[in-house]
Amino acid sequence: MVEALLLVGVLVAMFVGYNIGGSTTGPAFGPAVGAGTISKTVAAALMSVCFFIGAWTIGRRVVDTLGRDLVTNPDIFTLPASITVLFFIGLALFVGNVFGVPASTSMTAVGAIAGLGLASNALDWAVMGEIVSWWLVAPVIGFWLSAVIGRYFYAGLNKRVALVQSKGPLLTVDRSGLLPVIGVGPGDDQTGADRHHDRRGDRLYHGV
């Protein structure tokens, strides 16, 4: 019975991880993909690396908060209870991903664990209050920082770090043979001709 529950737990954990990746990659790399800076494949690869580094470094502190600090009695995390919590976390994120809504993974996880703690009379209200306070403060800080930078500093920063982008990709993959061959794409225009400005902005493109 325990072995079967462990197998179910692993499958549910994979389901949660899959949906966390789908939910988090959009907000992190959506603007870059939308601007054509990187492809969806590159965004997924970069996010995979960032997930691993973040989980191995500072992510462990969040694990301690959710697994030990948020509840006063960690013994409530029995195997069936943990699988149930994980399943509903994954289900909530899955529904958001299906409808294209960027649901917060941290809020979903905290809500599910807090629900278990409340039902077991083991929720640490002080820690929960601190977490909710950050939920309220962080979006406000992010909004006003973005608004101030966009209103007063964006034009100058854009001139300093503006990137010249070519129409063609920097690298190409030839899949006509038995093995794919990676080559250098058209990249920048070698003749320096056919420069023009996009009508929608000041980005400079090079014709190939």
For the chain, which residues make up each domain, given as ranges? 2-123, 165-206
Residues 6+ apart with CB under 8 A from 111: none
What's CA 77's distance to the chain center, in Å? Answer: 27
Report whether pLDDT(205) > 50: no
Mean pLDDT, range 59-82, rounded to an integer: 85
* Residue 83: HSE in the Cβ half-sphere, 13 Å Cα cutoff: 12
Of 54-58, 146-150, 192-196, where does the model show the most confidence?
Answer: 146-150
* Lowest-pLDDT range of 52-61, 74-83, 117-126: 52-61
pTM score: 0.64
